[in-house]
Structure 1
Amino acid sequence: MLGTGKTILIVDDEPLTRSGIHKTLETWSAGKYKILSTDNGAEALEIIRSQVINLLITDIRMPEITGLQLVESMQKRGQKPVVIVISGHADFHYAQSALQLGVVNYLVKPIQKRKLLEAVEGALQIEEEWERVETLERMADPQLLQAKLESQQYSEPVQQAVRYVEQHLQEPLGMREVAMHIHLNPSYFSALFKEQTGFTFSEYVTRSRLQRAKELLLQTRLPISDIAEQVGYQTPKYFIKLFKEYEGKSPSQFRKELKQEDDEI
């Protein structure tokens, strides 16, 4: 089931269309979502300033502020809800412009209820995925992320080592073992890895394991002991100790804070 507590805003200057969409979504929602509607872009912007909108459904052609201008105005304010645009015409130019603004669907009037609900459910799923990705980006280790972004510039042996680490985080990972895997002398490999990634091999493995652990804490309900095992630690105690050193909080506290953020959205 899709997440609850979200808000859908309908903007259309045609009373029958606006009312029809509103009633259809109210019935479908059965109280899971807050459904708002207005007949103009200016009022829509006032609503958007006062609360979070998760899904915007807007007519593309309206007086004063068009649907596309409304989307552009929201984006300039740093707000990026998922958007469905509706139109009385199958206009390729408008559809192309809408896609360039990141609009996820384009519906032509008269709108069938089935197509409307399919579009809304699909858009809300996309919005949840955007939220998940945004959360993952916020909790990313910036130094590790930078190293990964630069990985294409590494020599082939170091790239092989990085791939090997990613594929074997759950297993014991020693520098000597990985050096043998890529056919390099361990001492030479150690110096080469540090020079190119900026990390010692051991620190790179630790940061990679903790990053994977944070993803599991966000995306699953696995016990801390299971997460520790999945990222290569034999005992939860050592995993928790490392996690606290790097994150300044325990895995349980980290998960609790993420849950609180989700509840506030």
Structure 2
Amino acid sequence: MKQTKTILVVEDEPRTRQGFTKTLEAWSAGRYRIESMDSGQAALAWLENHVAHLLITDIRMPGISGLELIEMQQRHKQFKPVAIIISGYAEFEYAQKAMQLGVVNYLLKPVDKHKLVQAVEQALLVEDDRHRIETMEKLVDPRLLETKETDTQYTPQVREALSFLDEHLHEPITMRQVADRLHLNPSYFSVLFKEQTDLTFSEYISRLRVLRAKELLLRTTLSVGEIAERVGYQSDKYFIKVFKSYEGMSPSKYRSQTKETEADT
């Protein structure tokens, strides 16, 4: 079950903090969890054990400022919330520093309720986009991406080989089988493939199988054994060994760890 997203308001002025919280609670109508803290220190302590998807913070507070709070979050936390800065000071250096830290909006006090809600809605859209991009990045193999980007430069034989691998990945394919299909000497095909893709035939097919396995792990409830079979491995143990060599963890751990991250976001 997808968890409710959390918006954290950090503001040392009680009336402003309460005003922001009430406005957001009324707008949210239970769709989001609204939390509020009266200092950067309190926010940091809360963030040690909780996740905020959107951070709304005053820029000037006693102790830890809003910018310092964002900077600390980005430096030490794996999950980084999007942020909106609230300030009573229209000073360029603050806005400039905020932009460098990836702050998505900068609002000046007194903040109009409608502008606050509008800024929050825009920030949550940015947060959604970042999450989608992060999920896609987990499913991308940079080396394979390079081969796709330069495939127009390949000879017809190599392009045909790559197409054949895409379509027959679930089968126990050998390099000799592909070379025979292309009417090429296996040794010559091996050199040609490596020269053009910058990957050996064995590494290419292993990376492609791991990529497909990652997609199936995240998008289906198939068992590891069923996934191994679907990506062309006859042995579960060998599949797990290859997967670990590329991802640094077992397929089961990859699935549980990635889904836990998605649940938190």
TM-score (norm 2): 0.68
Alpha carbons 1:85, 1:105 under 8 Å: kept = yes
Secondary structure at the aligned position of 2:128 is classed as helix
From the superposition, tell whether residues 78 and 4 of structure 1 become closer, same or farther in structure 2 (CA, over 3 Å).
closer
The unaligned stretches of length 5 or more in structure 2 are 170-176
Offset, 1:50: 2.7
- Give per-residue Cα distances to partners, 1:213-239, cap 9 Å, x unaligned: 634764x57x97xxxxxxxxxx98941
Offset, 1:157: 3.3
Secondary structure at the aligned position of 2:110 is classed as coil
- Give the partner amino acid of 2:230: F
Paired with 1:102 and 1:161, the residues of 2 have a C-alpha distance of 43
Report 1:1-265 matches (<5 A).
4-79=3-78, 80-138=80-138, 144-146=141-143, 148=145, 156-157=153-154, 165=162, 171=167, 188-195=188-195, 197=197, 199-201=199-201, 203-205=203-205, 207-208=207-208, 210-212=210-212, 214-215=214-215, 218=218, 238-239=229-230, 241-242=232-233, 244=236, 245=239, 246-247=242-243, 258-265=258-265
Paired with 1:38 and 1:78, the residues of 2 have a C-alpha distance of 19
The unaligned stretches of length 5 or more in structure 1 are 225-234
Choose between structure 1 and 2 for higher RCO, CA contacts under 8 A separated by at least 6 residues.
Answer: 2
- Give the partner amino acid of 2:122: G
Paired with 1:94 and 1:191, the residues of 2 have a C-alpha distance of 56
Offset, 1:94: 1.3
Q: How many residues align?
A: 243
TM-score (norm 1): 0.68
Paired with 1:21 and 1:194, the residues of 2 have a C-alpha distance of 59
From the superposition, tell whether residues 211 and 99 of structure 1 become closer, same or farther in structure 2 (CA, over 3 Å).
same
- Give per-residue Cα distances to partners, 1:172-225, cap 9 Å, x unaligned: 699569989xxx99864531332565643365245336525634764x57x97x
Paired with 2:145 and 2:181, the residues of 1 have a C-alpha distance of 18
Alpha carbons 2:213, 2:227 under 8 Å: kept = no
Which deviates the most, 192-201 or 82-91? Answer: 192-201
Secondary structure at the aligned position of 2:7 is classed as strand
From the superposition, tell whether residues 74 and 251 of structure 1 become closer, same or farther in structure 2 (CA, over 3 Å).
closer
Q: CA RMSD in A?
A: 4.4
